[in-house]
Amino acid sequence: MPRPFAEPLRRRALIDAAIAAIGERGSLDVTMSEIAGRAGVSSALAHHYFGAKEELLLATMRHLLTELGTDVRAALSEAETPRARISAVVAVNFSVTQFRPEIVAAWLAFYVEAQKSARLRRLLRVYARRLHSNLLSGFVALLPRPQAEKGAEAIAALIDGLYIRRALKDGLPNSASAVALVEQVVEATLAHSKPSA
């Protein structure tokens, strides 16, 4: 008798296994059979659910984007001021669930692969637009629009840069130090851009 919930659970297990394999390898140079083995399913079943490896990688990237988006929306719903909105976005990006080594490594691998894959590049553009928009929603209430745009872009670039440095094992060692650094730059940006009295 077919189990109606088996497919979503197996798909999720394969996505989690893909993240773990990419994180361990530090690249997308993993096989479907390796991912399937980690998920405890056959390679044939992995191909049945996703077809080619690229489809599994795209599903994995979409999963990461969905998880990040869900976390950001929840944090923004609790932010009571524009400044708190900026801090909420920063905090989520360096949270325990998002700044895990395997997630950081997966993001770096996807950035590298996006040089060759138009579909991954599109997904990364979605991520970049969302990050910029979420940061801008706080900055635009605190600064004139041109400075708000620049501030959001600078903080987004800093977040991405800290992920890259962390993936290369050359970055800040933990979430708290990353958040502190980004918050310091946010404060400097706000102070520098405010008109003097």
Helix (H), strand (E), coil (C) string for 109-135: HHHHHCCCCHHHHHHHHHHHHHHHHHH
- What is the token pair recorded at 121? 């590049």
Question: Region 79-92: what's the mean pLDDT?
Answer: 98
Specify the pLDDT at position 167: 82
Q: Tokens at residue 186, please?
A: 């946010």
Q: Can you give the pLDDT at residue 3?
A: 60
Residue type, 51: G
The answer to whether the CB of 20 falls within 8 A of the CB of 36 is no
Q: Mean pLDDT of all residues in the chain?
A: 90
CA R_g for the chain: 19
Domains and CATH numbers, the chain: 59-193 (1.10.357.10)
What CA–CA distance (Å, rounded) separates 171 from 194?
Answer: 30
Spatial distance between the Cα atoms of 121 and 112, rounded to a whole number of angstroms: 10
Q: What is the mean pLDDT of residues 101-128?
A: 91
- pLDDT for the residue numbered 197: 42
List, in order, residues 6 or more apart from 177 with CB less than 8 Å away: none
CB 97 within 8 A of CB 72: no
> CA nearest 109: which of 95, 124, 94?
124
Query: Is residue 27 pLDDT above 60, yes or no?
Result: yes
Q: What is the pLDDT of residues 139-155, one digit of tens each?
A: 999 999 999 999 999 99
Per-residue exposure over 153-182, b if at least 16 CB sit within 10 Å of its own CB, e if not: bbbbebbbebbeebbeeebbeebeebbebb
Instruction: Say yes or no to pLDDT of 55 above 50.
Output: yes
**Whole-angstrom Cα distance, residue 64 to residue 66?**
5
Structure tokens at 193: 């851009």
Task: Tell which residue, 123, 1, 135, has the closest CA to residue 59.
Answer: 123
> Distance between CA 175 and CA 179 in Å, rounded?
6
Cα separation, 77 vs 22, whole angstroms: 32
